[in-house]
Amino acid sequence: MLRRSLTSLSRGLSTYCFTTLQDLTQKQNFVRRLLSVKEASGLTFDEIASRLGVTNIYCAQLFYNQAQLKEETAKKLRRVVPGLSDSDLEEMGRVPLRCYPAEVLQDPTIYRFYEVITHYGMSLKAVISEKFGDGIMSAIDFNIAVDAAKDENGNNRVVVTLNGKFLPHTEHKDHLGKA
């Protein structure tokens, strides 16, 4: 009974632009399809992103169904990656189910980011507080990009830029007169 209620609820929500993907398995299958179409296009995330006017990471987020495809970008994406079907673009335009399998943290590249944040987290927080005051960096009003560089010895370097809006913590005022 509960499962039927949840299914009918999610069907109703999908009319309000929520994802029609019901679980992680459906999402994984959809992502595999999107990545297969991208691969067939012969284009990299950098190349697609450049043509769309978005960052390379945001472009990848679209293909991993972790970001909602906006209408203006969808029109460009249709031209850049013509193998995407109307139903692909329609689903990409819905509010996605932002989740991933727990095993993703076992990937060494992804785990390094976890280690970086764990290792540098308190220092990042301290410097942000010194520069801006008490608050956080938004992960919503946020851009991230990856670039390549060479160091002074000619070694390859990964450059990750995190650019988020500062959101100050606020004093909680009694706006309802109940305090």
Q: Which residues does the annotation mark as catalytic?
A: 112, 115, 138
What's the rounded Cα separation, in Å, for the pair 90 and 72? 13
Residues in the chain: 179
Q: Are 63 and 33 in contact (CB under 8 A)?
A: no
Rounded CA gap, 20 and 17, in Å? 9
Q: Is 37 helix (H, G, I), strand (E, B) or coil?
A: helix
Two tokens, residue 35: 């990545």
